[in-house]
Chains A and B, each alone.
Chain A
Amino acid sequence: MATVKVRRNFQQARWDEPIIYDMSVPGVRGILPPPVERAVVDRVGDVVGELGSMLRRELPNLPEVSQKHVLMHWIHLSQETMGANLTNDISEGTCTMKYNPRVNEDLVGEPDFADLHPHQDDDTVQGILQIYHAFEQMLKEVSGMDRFTLQPSGGNHAVFTAASIARAYHAARGEGDQRDETITTIFSHPCDAAAPATAGYKIITLPPDENGIPDLDALRAAVSNRTAAIFMTNPEDVGIFNPRVDEFVRIVHEAGGLAFYDQANANAFLGVARAKESGFDMCHFNVHKTFSTPHASGGPATGAFGCIEALAKYLPTPTVEFDGTRYFLDHDRPETIGKVKDFYGNANNVLRAYAWTMMLGADGLREVADISVLNNNYLEKKLLTVPGLTSAYQGNGIRRQEQVRYSWQTLKDDTGIGTDEVNRRLIDFGIASYWTSHHPWIIPEPMTLEPCETYSVEDLDEYYEALSQVSEESYRDPDFVKEAPYASSSHRRNDEAALDDPKRWAMTWRAYKRKQEV
């Protein structure tokens, strides 16, 4: 067995890095654009002069930095960032921080992919069309849905697509104006409320029952002939599977609404349970979570959206089709909602996800699910022995699936140290910031962890040991914990109010300089 290493002597890179503008020297160059041939210049004359009043008189105030110093600066900034591929990122629960395989980066760098233009003739992109088509077939099998679009480029984007399709569906039935409400649950991701609201819906939010499962009576009271759809997760962020999910779907269907399953995080259910068996009409997968594509500091991502056949006519245009010999883009979709993104979505992620799925197959995907839930239950059992830590709805007799929402409220009551302080201190062990919870914090002082299949027994033990130490420190010397982090690339912000103050906030260097002068 490998040693469980707790990185007590960790120190993150701390370059004391200047802002790029501080590195600027007039006249220095980072790269030279290719020169224009003399014959071309001679033939065309003064083209820039034709711009008249639209000509830019003063050059943009960009930094002037040599190439080595540009490279150095951004490598330093990267080293001051904790990516999941280099840390024990059990931390970012609900986000499924998997290993992002290096081989997939090789594939997306291939000229036969990287250098494809989206307007190329279908006959010249048969390879990427085949990948799209094949990955859609995989997603259909994983979900039980009939069609997918890979155009949405994030989880929120897929939920917005679902809301757009619900809107088109009810409009086509003459009930577009009447059905102006959607329903969600408080432990579903905020986008299950915000994206339908953007699409014009009023939102009804269901509370949990005493076990942390959405309240069925509340749903019965919420549905009506104004219900357009329900947008729900299962399990929700607390990690508890809702065993009555099919009843939720049935009640919404009986009221004339659609049912959307937010499967942003489907890791525990690959080959175990699907949207179809629960009766859903629509679902989505965050390909950057369940299917291993990089989170990329916040995208580009992919929210693969699936639906039953009856809704397929509303899917964004174009779809990818196969006639038995040739793949093609079908733009002839008269009832489409239109488009949710220019072109076809993030093809780089589709390629990566196809490669990842091909390396695992049906048994491998099932192994992903099995190890995810085993890892989570193993870690949960250990963590619930840590003084000051409890879990949401602890002791309700229901086993958690792929993640757990914990609470440091007891620690806070005992020591004054809450989740934000614990989170800052954890970084001193080389562990990325953990995910607390979306707002509102129904579970006080929350911490949401998701030890997906990427993490070893030793990783789980390391995480437990590190949190145990922070707990112990909090009881022994809370002031020490309050001042953390000590080993991070930067110290604690000392004026949070400045970030909410229009006179002092600065989102660009020019704004900062201007406000400094005042």
Chain B
Amino acid sequence: MAKPVYPYIPNSEPAQKQRLLDGIGIDSVEDIYAEIPDHLRFKGRMNLPEPLLSEYAMKRHVLQILAKNRNCRDNLNFLGGGTWQHHVPSVCDTIIGRDEFLSAYVGDAYSDHGKFQALFEYASMMGELVGMDVVATPTYDWANAAAFCARMASRKNGRAEVVMASTTSPSRLMVIENYLKPRISLVQVAHDPETGALDLEDLRSKVSDATAAVYFENPSFLGFIEMQGAAIAEIAHAAGAELIVGVDPSSLGVLSAPASYGADYVCGDVQPFGIHMQWGAGLSGFMATRDEPDYVAEYPNLLFGITTTTKEGEYGFGEVFYERTSYATREEGKDFVGTTTALYGIIAGVYLALMGPQGMRELGEGIMQRAAYAIDVLDDIPGVQTPRFKSPVFKEFVVNFDGTNRSVRDINKALLDHGVFGGHDLSRDFPELGQSALYCVTEVHTQADIDALATALRAVTA
């Protein structure tokens, strides 16, 4: 078979390739590879699957593989815990598919003015939501954002201990721990077993003049709302420590902005804002602080600022305080900066502009109502007890199944036959909760969906 001309490689056409060789004045590409010593060359042909050269054949092949998945559109999904199923507005899907944003990269504002403005607007709307004047370009995820906030706090006050709520997301905690090694240590604070709330006495005993920052999540990983934000802030600040609050921002139409109860740093994930779950690939962290030089100086991320141009009345954009970054000063820079999740930041901005203040309020209130309804109907099932914690919840809540004498694992397997993805099994990470699962309800769930869950749970636990 003749060598194919590859649609993605225009110069694979033989005459075009010959023009390259003629232009260079060589007979073969081997004349270029001759710079690589023979013993460093790979010999032979790579052992890869035979290619599916046509788009049709490849697409068919991949779709056949993907068909082995069961998705959350055809099934009823109640999983949360770090990625959440929300409605993705069509406008968000349209903008994320624009080749201009999709295939741009590090161009300055002269070629990418729109990219700069879009990320500036993302920062502007996120700033309003959390109550801060500075929002950085996005991070990989919430965990990355929390870790960077902790590192920023540690550099700012020269302390090397981070005090953290014991209800922090376990997988997020694993990421943060790795980022803080070897210089910064983590200290966990107990929580009230009844309410889930941070144990303030324990917090007081754990903060000291070694504490760089206190970190808690609100709503917590276990779903309950931490009502003592102001008290935690006071204890942290009295010890000279910074307060970092991690939030699910979809709650901020109904929950107070963290800055209003004393947060110095706010972080979280914008995946709920118009980004599909994609098996966890929808994550995008955000970081925010006040606009004070000693905070701004410690950001590792790029910061996009608004400015003026030679044309009067025109907005221009550029990078703020670039010398901080590792791009500018390598290992002398703050942590490291690179390619993260800028496109998701742009989409979060689109989402917030669509939603507006009323939409965010209705979203939050509607989610709380559905979650309360779900708690009510699930708690009626014999052997099922929820909420596990006596605190208000936002969209997630712990359901305990000890009374059913069934494991969460067994129940979830059985629910699959009903087309239901049951809540995330907590028995490994929170053994003290027994056979408990973290259920998640959002605006995508109707009353009928929740009733269907209850019916299925009754059937499998009977």
Contacts and interface: CB of A to CB of B under 8 A. Distances in A.
Contacts of A368: 9
A298 B10 CA distance: 26
B104 A84 contact: yes
Contact of A44 (B179, B343, B376, B424): B376
Interface in B67-114: 67-75, 77, 79, 81-83, 85, 87, 89, 91, 93-95, 97-114
A17 interface: yes
Contacts of A271: 42, 45-46
Interface string B320-361: 111100111111010111111111101001101111111111
B320 A490 contact: no
Given A120-B70, A298-B339, A433-B110, A505 B59 contact: no
A70 interface: yes
A457 B318 CA distance: 34
B66 A118 contact: no
Interface string B114-155: 110111110111011100111111101111100000010000
A283 to B, nearest CB: 13
A123 B68 CA distance: 9
A200 interface: yes
A193 B326 contact: yes
Contacts of A495: 307-308
B53 interface: yes
Interface stretch (A31-39, A216-224, A465-473): A31-39
Interface stretch (A156-164, A387-395, A411-419): A156-164
Given A199-B181, A342-B143, A457-B11, A111 B71 contact: yes
Most buried by B among A28, A56, A142: A56
A454 to B, nearest CB: 7
A109 B93 contact: yes
B36 A243 contact: yes
B129 A60 contact: yes
Interface string A157-175: 1011000100100000000
B202 interface: no
A488 B317 CA distance: 13
Nearest to A318: B171
A32 to B, nearest CB: 7
Contacts of B100: 78-79, 81-83, 85-86
Given A51-B392, A103-B59, A499 B305 contact: yes
Contacts of B29: 370, 373-374
B309 A491 contact: yes
Interface stretch (B188-196, B206-214, B247-255, B399-407): B247-255
A3 interface: no
A507 B280 contact: no
B4 to A, nearest CB: 8
Interface residues of A, number: 221
B283 A342 contact: yes
Contacts of B10: 454-457
A130 B140 contact: no
B413 interface: yes
B205 interface: no
Interface stretch (A251-259, A304-312, A377-385): A377-385
A127 B331 contact: no
Contacts of B342: 296-299
Contacts of A286: 339
A187 B239 CA distance: 44
Interface string A19-40: 1110000001111111111011
B23 A31 contact: no
B281 interface: yes
A30 B356 contact: yes
A64 B357 CA distance: 7
Contacts of A106: 59
A44 B104 contact: no
A55 B358 contact: no
22 contacts: A12-B111, A34-B87, A48-B368, A60-B252, A73-B353, A76-B114, A83-B102, A103-B59, A115-B276, A116-B279, A156-B337, A191-B338, A317-B174, A343-B171, A359-B58, A360-B8, A488-B111, A491-B314, A493-B307, A505-B296, A509-B121, A511-B133
Given A296-B104, A361-B50, A508-B133, 10 more contacts: A34-B366, A43-B373, A83-B100, A92-B105, A297-B105, A358-B49, A359-B8, A367-B9, A500-B320, A510-B124
